[in-house]
Amino acid sequence: MAIAPGQPIPAISVKHVTEAGVADASTTDILGTGTVVMFTVPGAFTPTCHANHLPGYLLTAEDFKAAGVDKIVCATANDHHVVRAWAEATESLGRIDFIADGLAEFAKATGLDRDLTAGGLGTRFGRHALIIVDGVVHTVNTESAPGEVVESGAPAMLDALKAL
């Protein structure tokens, strides 16, 4: 069952990728303070994630800040080397933080995982977006169809912030 509004973010060890580099961290350290918008993607450099999902957040990063968001975080079940390369290639560092969940432990702990073994990808995150305030989930948006970025996209999350 997926994490739901009112539930705290579980403490899972991950790699935190920022403009300062890559560091070992707990998800509660990354997501536990302030207002955070976290979106989850199946994989770095994958078609929809790379061409549609991440770019929407990059284009609206200042809008999120103006709406009171302290941090935008992208979580993906890739190793930190791939995540760092993706962040650099998309010029995201400094605007978006990344969680590299190489073994999909955070994805599984939150119930936001998706089995993509049939496509050769193993366990990954599904496509979701959350609003988290001081470590507690307030909103969870989930895409209903693969390859879509509607409910978890930046415009939908900006609208959800207005409802808080």
Where do the structural domains in the chain lie, given as residue ranges?
13-162
The whole model's pTM is what? 0.94
Alpha carbon distances (Å) from 90 to 35, 62, 74, 94, 136: 24, 16, 13, 11, 29
Residue ranges of the chain with pLDDT lower than 50? none
The confidence score (pLDDT) of residue 117 equals 77
CATH of domain 13-162: 3.40.30.10
Distance between CA atoms of residues 82 and 78, nearest Å: 6
As annotated, the active-site residues are 49
The confidence score (pLDDT) of residue 86 equals 95
Backbone angles phi, psi at 91, to 5 degrees: 55, 45
The confidence score (pLDDT) of residue 47 equals 67
Distance between CA atoms of residues 114 and 17, nearest Å: 22
